[in-house]
Structure 1
Amino acid sequence: MAANIQDLHPDILTCALRRLDGPSLAAVGCASSHLRSLSSDPSIWRDLCLSTWPSLGHPSLLSLLPMSQYQSFFASVFSFPCQFPQSQSLNPLVLPHKLISAVDLHHGENLIFSKVIELDTSSDWFLGSPFRIDTLEEQSSQLVSFTGDISLSELTLSWILIDPESKKALNVSSRRPVTIDRHWYTGETLVRYGMVIHDLLINIVVTCGEDGGHLRGVSMTIEDGDGIGVCGKESLEMLMKAMEATRKWKGNGKEEIEMSRRYDEFVRRRRSRKESKARKECFFDLCCTGVSAVIFLSCLVLVALR
């Protein structure tokens, strides 16, 4: 008699399901109604979220997310937004009064840095100032040291923004670095993660020491096409729309490749605009110089003819 997977005891199947990653667990749930019932166990998805993003174990986030919402939370955070609503709602966009950041930095399976930050977004100062979130203060007592050999190109970063009122969330990091640069003045290494949304760039920078052995800062800013910081109000509006956007998972690292491609395209457009602006300013300066020279020579001629 042929054996069937459903003949296995549910506890054995559940133990096997707990060893799967999120996409594999979701795929197993599509195989049969029995596996769907087992793979929909809220505790499995809760443990999966906590192991993937350790920062979610912070007491404030454990009390925020009900057990039944971890599966939908994983689907929202693991996939990148791919399609944004085109129609504008007649009702004004409601901006959150608080925004929670859950940040996790890994090197392979090793957790290097994890932190939760609660940001008050209701003040006039925040709404009118350039959007910026810093997770580390540049003080020696807060420096994080790397252990062992660390390849900066293999650092993976997750930065989850959570609206505590609506329970909606969005991962704004490209997961893998889009560029690795060295600061021209300090010599520090800058590992950049980026996501382009609505012609705006979410720019996340992991700052490492000159020797690459210390983590000096992790910060996030939002910039427009000219590299100018976007104010808090406009940034919140963009983030809320991104949280409403549909998600799509392609698999095999294609999302990271797509994020890197969008970043490179955004940087090329920015460079092209700067070069075009520089050419226009140079032409304008030449015109002004020419007009000034003509006026000066005309004055000399008038003085000489008197």
Structure 2
Amino acid sequence: MAMNIQDLHPDILTCALRRLDGPSLAAVGCASSLLRSLSSDPSIWRDLCLSTWPSLGNPQLLSFFPMSQYQSLFSSIFPFPCHSPQSQSSNRHSLIGNLISAVDLHHRGNLVFSKVMELDTTSSWFLGSPFRIGALEGQSSEWVSLSGEIIPSELTLSWILIDPESKKAVNISSRRPVAIDRHWYTGETLIRYGMVIRDLLISIVVTCGEDCGQVKEISMTVEDEDGIGVCGKESLEMLMDAMEGTRIWKSNGEEELETSRRYDEFIKKRRSRKESKARKECLVDLCCTGVSAVFFVSLFLLVAFK
């Protein structure tokens, strides 16, 4: 006699559901009413969020989200935000007053670094200055030690931004590196994570020592198409649009590939703009040089034949 999966005891099914990742758990919930009921258990989603992003276990954040909100929290954080969300800034009366960052760095699934930071975004200095958050600022040590051989391409990073007032959240990291460079002078390894939203680049850089044995810096900035830092006010408007906008959820890592592809296109477009600007400046210099040469030759001839 064939046995149906729903003939199993609910406790056994619940134990099996706790071993699934978020997308699989959501898919199982569509199979039947019983599995939908079991997979909607708030404690399962809470444990899943805390195991995926350990920084969310910080007491400061646990008080923000009741047990019933972790399923919606996962659906806000795990999928990437839409790359070009429709701007809602014109309908807002105020920007985010406090911005919370929850940062988690893993190597081959092992947690390397985890931190929660709160940033006051109301000052005129912040709103007018280039947007930047440093995750290691204020740490007791200048770097985070890593044990064993570290492969930069296998470092995964999540950077979750949370608005404590609206309880909305978004992950603005590409999870996997979109580029790995080496600093020409110091020899440090620069592991880049990026996401393109509204023609702006959210750039996160993890700086490691020459031997990749220690993390020296983790920083996040927002840049425009010319590589110029965007001010805090414009950056907050973009981030609020990302929190309120739609999400991209694809299977088999396709969303990470899409994010990497958009990053490459953005960098190529920036390089093309710089080259075009350099050619125009060169042409202007040549014109100025030519005009100056004609002027001095004319002046010389005028003096010589006077």
TM-score tier (shorter): over 0.9
Change (3 A) 1:303 1:89: closer
How far 1:260 moved relative to its partner?
Answer: 0.7
Mind listing any 5+ residue stretches in structure 2 that lack a counterpart?
none
Q: Percent identity?
A: 78
Question: 2:224 matched to which residue of 1?
Answer: 224
CA distance in 1, matches of 2:92, 2:140: 45
Distance verdict in 2 for CA 1:263–1:87, change over 3 Å: closer
Distance 2:138 2:126 in 1: 21
Name the stretch that deviates more: 22-31 or 142-151: 142-151
DSSP-derived class of the 2:141 partner: helix
Alignment-derived partner of residue 264 in structure 2? 264
State the shift of 1:2 in Å: 3.3
CA contact (8 A) 1:93 1:237 kept: no
Distance of aligned partners of 1:171 and 1:244 in 2 relative to their CA distance in 1, 3 Å threshold: same
How far has the Cα of 1:301 moved from its partner? 1.1
Counterpart residue number, 1:34: 34
Equivalent residues in 2 for 1:136-215, closer than 5 Å: 136-137=136-137, 141-215=141-215
| Distance (Å, rounded) in 1 between the aligned partners of 2:116 and 2:130 | 21
- In 2, Cα distance between equivalents of 1:141 and 1:223: 28
Task: Report the alpha carbon displacement of residue 137 of structure 1 after superposing the two structures with TM.
Answer: 3.7
One-letter amino acid matched to 2:212? G
Q: Secondary structure at the match of 1:142?
A: coil
Counterpart of 2:111 in 1: which secondary structure?
strand
Q: CA deviation at 1:11?
A: 1.1
Alignment of 1:43-122 (within 5 A): 43-82=43-82, 84-86=84-86, 91-92=91-92, 94-122=94-122
TM-superposed deviation, 1:51: 0.1
| Offset at residue 92 of structure 1 (A) | 2.8
- Equivalenced residues, count: 306
- When normalised by structure 2's length, the TM-score is 0.96
Aligned partners of 1:84 and 1:244 also within 8 Å: no
What is the identity, as a one-letter code, of the residue corresponding to 2:109?
A: E
Q: By how many angstroms is 1:4 displaced?
A: 2.1
Structure 1 residue ranges without an equivalent (≥5): none
Alpha-carbon distance in structure 1 between the residues aligned to 2:91 and 2:106: 41
Q: CA RMSD in A?
A: 1.6
Deviation at 1:139, TM superposition (A): 8.0
Equivalent-residue separation in structure 2 for 1:295 and 1:14 (angstroms): 87
TM-score (norm 1): 0.96
1:104 and 1:157 in contact (8 A); partners too = yes
Alignment partners' CA distance in 2, 1:99 and 1:265: 29
